[in-house]
Amino acid sequence: MIEVTGLTKRFGSKVAVDDLSFSVNKGEVLGFLGPNGAGKSTTMRMVTGFLPVSAGKIKICGISMTGRPKAAKRKIGYLPESAPLYKDMTVQGFLKFCASLRGLGGSARRQAVEKSIETCFLENVARQSIGTLSKGYRHRTCLAQSLLHDPEVLVLDEPTDGLDPNQKLEVRKLIKNLGKEKAILFSTHILEEVTAACTRAVIVDQGVIVADGTPEQLTKEGGGSLYDLFHKVTTFETPAA
């Protein structure tokens, strides 16, 4: 459902993403791991059509992102790294607004909003102003907007970043459950999320895939430790003296 071939992104002389190729099928949750600056967010932004590619091909449910971007984007639910929110809106009001932008109206909009609120466990704060919510609830509200149109593909950029341990556990369980019916690509630098939510993972360093496999395969490759594998295949950036 997500097919990426030879994906490359250059910013001037800097190559942020270098000839990446991977795929994500229905029922699969692919964790996109790597240290800060590895090219994870840049890849996400190209996959969702937010950034133009320098080279390579992206297909979403068989639709070319470069050839038919509007049609491809309709298949995607996207949670960016710093998702925008209108703090003076209620959770319900914000989701209604987002549903309208997605072309939903009437009973279809109402049902979509109710379902996303239920899926993301937002019932207790649905009529509360977003500006008064905890970071965890704001994050879940952002996730809820990505689900409104029941997309076949979910692209989630650092979906648990900044959450407390309990909130991280809830979001990981939600991602794993959603992954039974959708194709999910999510980026993270938290290694335990691989075993908690992923069916497969790739490790990216300096814009290149340096490891790819199931959690069990990657752990075995690291000699029984995913941390050891991560340290082995990624680059340490040492500050200049």
Number of folded domains that form the chain: 1
pTM across the whole model = 0.90
Per-residue pLDDT of the chain (241 residues; tens, 9 = 90+): 999 999 999 999 999 999 999 999 999 999 999 988 899 999 999 999 999 999 999 999 999 999 999 999 999 999 987 778 999 999 999 999 999 999 999 999 999 999 999 999 899 999 999 999 988 888 889 999 999 999 999 999 888 877 888 888 888 888 999 999 999 999 988 888 888 899 999 999 999 999 999 999 999 998 999 999 999 999 765 444 3
92 domain residue, yes or no = yes
Q: Residue 110 in 3-state DSSP?
A: helix
90 domain residue, yes or no = yes
Report whether 205 contacts 38 (CB < 8 A): yes
91 domain residue, yes or no = yes
5 domain residue, yes or no = no
120 domain residue, yes or no = yes
Res 237: pLDDT: 57
Could you tell me where the beta strands, DSSP code E, fall in the chain? 2-11, 14-24, 29-33, 55-60, 63-64, 76-79, 153-157, 183-188, 200-205, 208-213
143 domain residue, yes or no = yes
205 domain residue, yes or no = no
First-to-last alpha carbon distance for the chain, in angstroms, is 46
- Structural domain of 113: 82-150
